Amino acid sequence: MTATATVSGARTLLSIGDPNGIGPEIAVAAARSWIGDPAAAPVLVGDRAVVETAIDSTRARLTVRDHVPGTVGGGDLVDLLDVGALPAGAHRPGEISAAAGAATIAYVTAAVREAQRGGYRAVVACPHSETAVHAAGIAFRGYPPLVAQLTGAPPERVFLLLAGGGLRIVHATLHERLADALGRLTPELVADAARVLHEALGGTDTARIGVFGINPHAGEGGLFGADDERVTIPAVATLRAEGLPVDGPVGADVLLGGGEHAGYVAIYHDQGHIPVKLLAGRSAVAMTVGAGVPFCSVGHGTAFDIAGTGRADPTAVVRALHVLDPTQPEQVPEAAPR
């Protein structure tokens, strides 16, 4: 079966991720399964040789066509923005390499640059390998800082919004050592994360936001440390003074157990990732919000162990192509397209 959700409007640019991972295969599978408006069919961004190999391994029966802005897609054609970033002989599925890491960043860069020219709905990125990117000598802490750099958006105003299992959780800090994340927390950073989430949820008074505490029980009046008194309590006070519908800080377990909020602000990576991944598994999607260019990536990794076999499940990327508006209910495919 294929996805039942449909999308209308401008096309989405789909970066194939690490060329040695499963990204090219799930990108091709997502393009093959497209049943929505042809004017919104995804445009792959990557290397032609890599995409053609993925077509062979997935038996997709697709023909690659050079993308021309303004054209429609779908059917047995897959449009490609050919970046030409991977050197000859460097496509080795299952292998972590600096060349593949550099190509990953080149694909995303090309997609964001193209999106900035206008006429596209969003950018979706297949999984990357931080190890491969760092091996290429590229400073990288995930997609949000990179997208902020590419768009010129203030990095302190660009955040990861993880969605899945009925949850939408923005992260004040992300890929860094926990001690470093806690050390740079300020009321302004937490408040900015909540403001961006408020905007992403439609900016309405009905979309209430819950702010997690830093320490257990949000510090319980200083019993478990003064971090919440220093950071989250003043952040929430500021937000309420601005009229935002914000509750907290409250322990993450209590807020999530209540299920009364449209979205949540997590203080650090695992605080937000664990509940979403528990409920949504590999179907979770990660949205970069606050950068001006709608950007979404899958919530799973490169699966090097099965890369090149044609066995990768494209459910998450199919879902990412449809779940780009946090204000709308989640649209989950009936089954993974094969």
Q: In terms of domains, do 8 and 148 share one?
A: yes
5 closest CA partner among 44, 39, 45, 34: 34
Judge contact between 269 and 212, C-beta under 8 A. Answer: no
Q: In terms of domains, do 4 and 123 share one?
A: yes
Judge contact between 127 and 300, C-beta under 8 A. Answer: yes
Residue 77, classed as helix, strand or coil, is: strand
Q: In terms of domains, do 8 and 123 share one?
A: yes
Q: In terms of domains, do 96 and 147 share one?
A: yes
Q: In terms of domains, do 36 and 133 share one?
A: yes
196: which 2 tokens? 């961006």
Q: How many domains does the chain contain in total?
A: 2
For residues 118-136, average pLDDT: 93
- CB contact set of 77 (below 8 Å; sequence gap of 6+): 62, 63, 64, 65
Q: In terms of domains, do 317 and 275 share one?
A: no
Q: In terms of domains, do 252 and 319 share one?
A: no
Q: In terms of domains, do 249 and 300 share one?
A: no
Q: In terms of domains, do 263 and 297 share one?
A: no
Residue 331 has pLDDT above 80, yes or no: no
Residue 163, classed as helix, strand or coil, is: strand
Determine the pLDDT at residue 327: 53
Judge contact between 294 and 80, C-beta under 8 A. Answer: no
| Range from 70-74, 167-171, 196-200 carrying the lowest mean pLDDT | 70-74
pLDDT-based confidence at residue 10 (cuts at 50, 70, 90): confident
Q: In terms of domains, do 257 and 301 share one?
A: no
Q: What is the CATH number of the domain that holds 90?
A: 3.40.718.10
What residues make up the domain containing 330? 1-152+290-338
Q: Which residues pair with 66 in a beta bridge?
A: 80
Determine the pLDDT at residue 3: 32
Residue where one domain finishes, among candidates 281, 298, 321: 281
Q: In terms of domains, do 3 and 147 share one?
A: yes
